[in-house]
Amino acid sequence: MTVETLTPPRRFRGKPRGRDLPPVALVALRQLLGDERSDPDRRRRDLLIEHLHALQDAHGHLSLVNLRALATYMNLPMAAVYETATFYAHFDVVHDDQSPPPEVTVRVCDSLSCQLAGAATLRAELEAGVDPRAVRVVRAPCMGRCETAPVAEVGHHHVLFATREGVESVIDTGHFHPEAIDWQRLAAYREQGGYRLLTDCREGRVALETLMAELERANLRGLGGAGFPTFKKWTFVRKEPGPRYCAINADEGEPGTFKDRYYLERAPHRFLEGALVSAWAVEASALYIYLRDEYPGLHRVLGEAIGELEVAGLAPPGYIVLRRGAGAYICGEESAMIESLEGKPGKPRHRPPFVAQQGLFGRPTLVNNVETVFWIPLIHEKGADWFAGHGRHGRSGLRSFSLSGRVKRPGVHLAPAGITLNELIEEYGGGMADGHRLAGYLPGGASGGILPASKADIPLDFDTLQAEGCFIGSAAVIVLSDRDDLRAVAANLLAFFADESCGQCTPCRVGTEKMLSLVERDEWRVEELERLAQVMQDASICGLGQAAPNPVLGLLKEFRGELADQHVIVRG
């Protein structure tokens, strides 16, 4: 017997591994996105999420055929396209053995403010009242409209102060009340002196050192949560070799936060002037604005405002790049936002290096919050002393509080830094809602911790709450009353963190789920909760996992009597 007879003949597949791509799918994709063969820039990796949005908007979902076509179109591995598409909540990936989602999707916000306003009941009523073959009802994280809770979204349109009847009316009639955003146009803004600072900076009438000194005297700090001095950020980025970039984080996903939306809806050009001045200060090659996808009306407003600037010659065409988020709270973290701007899943980077050293596309990047740059033109116009002259209880400056929960007048309230909660509620919030008595409050949104009514006279500002295990963050104040279920509050916040964890590190991915299961029990074991919290705080990569235990730790420290009254047994 010869060797040839013992060896079976080799068989070749005859085609590459993977599934065939129907040529018609690539043709359709080119009709939607443009022909990448004549314009290779369309293949840039940082456009992946924008392309996914275009597909989702066109079809209502993302089929695997379209994802394979997009992978071919962009010359990317299918794994990279699939990983990015499935990372973000606003993309509906449909596998070959699945049916596409119904034509209408109703998202009901289940953030804490909306939960207090009856969102769970609303969702249950909608689920029982609609035909699931035509309408799907899903829960969704904070939509940034906490002052009008509960909030629902039909398609990509918000329904404020939502009721079952109101949402069903929108579904049945297809009639939406479009967001009528009355924003200040370029001409009106310039009549009031708008863009004078930007022009003076560019033409040398205002020196960079002078402007930085003004911001230092005003004590303008990052108003997205971290509170880092603005002028120092500029200094650190300028020390790095060019080219540099500037990126503005408009992805305010912290439950209870809506101040950035408030300012963008009313004065987008003041924001854009502050952003352009910041880009000028670090000699940025481009200015990127990362806007959360929950604000579709603002995407239109900013797009039109940027167009006005380009026509007026105040910004070169293409210098300001407006990008949509896709539903990921983690992208509020600056390095995760950078990853998302590059067309990737929004997973925080290990630091160092910091984004001021290696940020967008590996280059030094200045990252600021919307409200931070919003104040820059006003501070220059009215003077540093004007801004710093506001304040109470030894604090200085102004703070924009997103106030929601059990108050008569929820909304964005501009108040002196250092104001106390009692003062904020009485002077700005109209007092407690009828029939409610103050029991506690979250001074800085879901991650800022929780304090009892007995500590409602602590100044609300940076560096004033740390001794209580809390922080002001983005100044999202959620007010709780004696009628609220504290265990339900804790479970709501932990469920949010568990949903929004990017999954990159085990302490956060597993820890948030484990802590949620522990607080849902009738018996809370202090030692077990505190040990888990310590691991999450010490070992999580970013602030999400580090701050997730804060509400539970606050309840254990300050609310044991109230927990007992609500039949929660606390051991230890």
Q: pLDDT of 66-78, one tens digit each? A: 999 999 999 999 9
Tokens of 345: 């899943």
- Give dist(CA 529, CA 430) in Å, integer: 37
User: Is pLDDT at 427 greater than 70 in this prediction?
Assistant: yes
Query: Smallest Cα–Cα separation from 568: which of 532, 531, 529, 525?
Result: 525
Q: Is residue 392 part of a domain?
A: no
Sign, CA torsion 300/302/305/307 = negative
Structural domain ending residue among the three candidates 173, 205, 228: 173
The reply to whether 440 and 517 lie within a common domain is: no
Q: What is the pLDDT of residue 181?
A: 84
Cβ atoms < 10 Å from Cβ of 61: 17
Residue with tokens 């394979």: 68
Q: Could you tell me what percent of the chain has a pLDDT over 90?
A: 91
Does residue 554 form part of some domain?
yes
Among the three residues 481, 514, 548, which one is the final residue of a domain in this structure?
481
> What pLDDT is stored for residue 174 in this prediction?
73
pLDDT at residue 251 tops 80: yes
Domain span at residue 36 reads 23-94
Last residue of one domain, picked from the residues 352, 382, 412? 382
Examine the domain organization and report whether 365 and 408 are in the same domain: no
Q: Which of 551, 132, 214 is nearest to 384 (CA)?
A: 214
Q: Looking at residue 156, what is its pLDDT?
A: 86
Does the structure show a pLDDT above 90 at 495? yes
So what's the pLDDT on residue 534? 97
- Helices (H) and strands (E) counted in the chain, each on its own, are 25, 17
pLDDT score for 10: 64
Give the mean pLDDT of 278-290.
Answer: 98
H or E segment to which residue 470 belongs = none
Confidence band (pLDDT; 50, 70, 90) for 97? confident
Q: What pLDDT digit, counting tens, does each position of 111-149 carry?
A: 999 999 999 999 999 999 999 999 999 999 999 999 999
pLDDT band at residue 281 under the 50/70/90 scheme: very high
Give the DSSP H/E element, type plus range, for residue 368. strand 365-369
Report the relative pairing of strands 398-405 and 411-416 from DSSP bridges.
Answer: antiparallel
Q: Which residues pair with 442 in a beta bridge?
A: 478
pLDDT computed for residue 33 by the predictor: 96
Summarised one tens digit per residue, pLDDT across range 151-196 is 999 988 899 999 999 999 999 887 666 566 889 999 999 999 999 9
Calculate mean pLDDT across residues 33-55.
Answer: 96
Q: Determine if the pTM surpasses 0.75.
A: yes
- Domain at 429, CATH number: 3.10.20.600
pLDDT at 17 over 90: no
Radius of gyration of the chain (CA): 25
320 pLDDT above the threshold of 70: yes
Q: Please indicate, yes or no, whether residues 331 and 361 belong to a single structural domain of this protein.
A: yes
pLDDT score for 14: 59
Average pLDDT (459-478) is: 94
Both 450 and 362 in one domain: the answer is no
The total number of structural domains that make up the chain: 5
Asked if the model's pLDDT at residue 272 lies above 70, the reply is: yes
- Report whether pLDDT(2) > 60: no
Please indicate, yes or no, whether residues 422 and 523 belong to a single structural domain of this protein.
no
Compute the mean pLDDT over every residue in the chain, rounded to the nearest whole number: 94
Distance CA 401, CA 412 (A): 6
pLDDT of residue 275: 98
